[in-house]
Structure 1
Amino acid sequence: MKHTGLFSVILVVSLIANISLAAMLFTAGQGGDGRVQERLTALETSNADLQARLDQSNQSAEQAASQLAFYRSQLQTASTPLVTGGGAGAARFSGTASLQAPAVMQRAVLNQSGRFITREIITEGSMINISVEVTPGRGRVLVQTSPLMGEVFQDAANTAVAVAEARTGVNLSESDAIISIVADDQVPSVNGPSAGALMTLLLISVLQQRPVRPDVTVTGTIDENGQIGAIGGVVEKATAAKASGKTLLLLSRENSKLTQYRDETRDYYGFQVVSQVPYQVDTKQYIESNVGIQVEYVDTIDDLVRLAT
């Protein structure tokens, strides 16, 4: 009996020791799992960030190739020369003008919820610097963009020069127009013809020696007849212009209607369904009330010059 009791005590002590050891191992395992999970999360975050950078680099490379192809086609195709105007009555001009313009950019944001990481594309406004330099030359229209932004800016620049020549009566066949567009390093890419109206305004400012108001900014397309056309991202651009210290935003009259959305609740068999219903407001009134920057509509380049200089 004595041996049986001793054996029982040893068995109980061994059982308690095993339970304690199992608890210790479980706790250590839990801690290890936590560290492993933290490492996995860190790797997933790093991988998502690298993927975003790769996508951005690919986009820049595509636009660089696009711009290079455009310039090659301009050099090789006689029907689309880079030279504007004619030789008769040509003048050799020099001068510079610059202004900040609002643009819409898209950037990727990584959001983490527990173990899952999602990538969200955010659209917001940003300001880009646009400058025009006219120098004695051979009638070329040269565009420099940073970051690279695609050949659409070259098309808009060619139109801007043609409209500026027609508006001022100045022949630029013996001058070069150098247009520089510089965006912030955080802006991966900007595209679209919405800087056309501003480029035309700056060219006219140089050719007529009419300084542009520093508190004004412009966004809008330009066509060969000098008409100012609509653009997208109006509210985002207005917000960026306001944040940069601008007091007046000039928009195409084609942008006078802004689509907004309101929630509308309906009952369906005892269930409430919420849907967003579109409605239109006057862009000028909405931006002036909600963003806090003055807005004026323009129809033509003549309206633009009158209000901005």
Structure 2
Amino acid sequence: MVKKILTFLLILSLVLNAYFVWFAQPQPLGAGESAEQIREMQARINSLEEENEALKVQVLLNNQSLQSYASQIEFYRNRVVELETTFQACPVGQEGFATLQAPAVVQRIEEGENGPFVSETVIEEGALIDVSVEVRPGKGRVLVQTTPLMGVVFQDAANTAVFVAQDQANMSLTGTDTIFSITAEEPIPAVDGPSAGALMTLLTIAALDNDTELNDSVTLTGTIDSEGNVGPISGVIEKSEAAKAGGKTLILLPRENDQLVSYTYVQRDAGPFTIVERKPEFIDTEEFIEENVGIDVEFVDTIEDVVRYAV
């Protein structure tokens, strides 16, 4: 049967090739305008290829810098502990624990059959993951444990979260180990970036203050920088749906995610070519999520805003 299908496809391919050669050749470009459009498209393609190569180089350099910074942080942290121990000035380690569920994006691949061919479609869905932090007497280390393994960028976000948290709590964590645990039912690639940074900062602040009790009906997503600012993330709709499905009543989003972008496709002819353009349309995030997902939305700019809503 497979042999017959392949033979049929081969014959069909030969027929189509003959048709295009003899009957469907494009008309010569008689208009200077069409030729100019083609040149513009080719120039744009060349420009995009150059930009893509430059971005690849930049990503490589950034990854190398992250590894270098992580090594330096570990070196200086150990050195501080050694010096404080030598001078008997090492602060007493703190103890505490806090946990909260965080929204993330699950990516899964669905396979489908189309005749003799197999197609793969990447589907993104929201999910809630359990994030907890434990602080205990130690050497100032920041440790991350993920189940199952989810990637390596968590460590950088965790270091920043601890830095901001000790500044907010006005205490030194030099004599304290901070251990983050992230648990999910399946691998979650989309959380492999800094998008859990703001939540990890909140957890650390709560763990350092045993009198702080987090509201488990609230969840959040957003990056954190060394100044305590909450930055934008992706997958806003999927994460909001996961929060709603998990029984949350409020989701905190970065202020920079206050608009969603929807694209419409417009076709236009350029000589013998048909060009498809994507035109963006901006939608109010809060209005869309509250009406279509059914969960309250609040935007935050800093970690102080997060604490105000989540405690």
CA contact (8 A) 1:107 1:188 kept: no
Conserved 8 A contact 1:159-1:222? yes
Asked if 1:159 corresponds to 2:156, the answer is no
Correspondence 1:146 to 2:143: no
Aligned to 2:251: 249
1:57-206 pair list within 5 angstroms: 74=71, 78-79=75-76, 87=84, 90-185=91-186, 187=188, 190-206=191-207
Out of 201, 213, 216, the residue aligned to residue 214 of structure 1 is 216
Cα offset for 1:304? 0.4
Match of 1:277 in 2: 279
TM-score by length of 1: 0.69
Give the CA deviation at 1:122. Answer: 1.4
Q: CA deviation at 1:273?
A: 9.8
CA contact (8 A) 2:222 2:253 kept: yes
* 2:304 is aligned with 1:302: yes
Number of matched pairs: 242
How far does residue 227 in structure 1 lie from its aligned partner after superposition? Answer: 0.4
**Pair 114,149 (structure 1): closer, same or farther in 2 beyond 3 Å:** same
In 1: Cα distance, 2:163 partner to 2:239 partner = 26
- The root-mean-square deviation of aligned C-alpha atoms, in Å, is 3.3
The separation in 1 between residues aligned to 2:199 and 2:112, in whole angstroms, is 37
Cα distance 1:188–1:155, how it changes in 2: closer, same or farther (>3 A)?
closer
Q: Show CA shifts across 1:133-183 (max 9, x none).
A: 011111111111122233311111111111010001121111110001112
Q: Deviations over 1:188-215 (max 9, x none)?
A: 6741100000000001111122111011
Structure number with bigger Rg? 1
CA distance in 2, matches of 1:182, 1:70: 24
Structure 1 partner of 2:12: none
Amino acid at match of 1:296: E
Pick closer, same or farther for the CA change 1:75–1:162 going to 2, 3 Å: closer
1:220-259 residue pairs with structure 2 within 5 A? 220-259=222-261
Q: Which amino acid aligns with 1:141?
A: V
Distance change >3 Å, CA 205–CA 115, structure 1 → 2: same
1:27 aligned residue: none
Letter in 2 for 1:285: E
Alignment partner, residue 291 of structure 1: 293
Q: 8 Å contact 1:144–1:179 — kept in the other structure?
A: yes
Query: Which one-letter code corresponds to 2:71 in the other structure?
Result: Q
Q: State the identity %.
A: 49
1:128 maps to a residue whose letter is I
Compute the TM-score of the two structures, normalised by the length of structure 2.
0.69
> What stretches of structure 1 of length at least 5 have no aligned partner?
1-32, 38-65
Distance 2:104 2:299 in 1: 18
Following superposition, the deviation at residue 220 of structure 1 comes to: 0.3
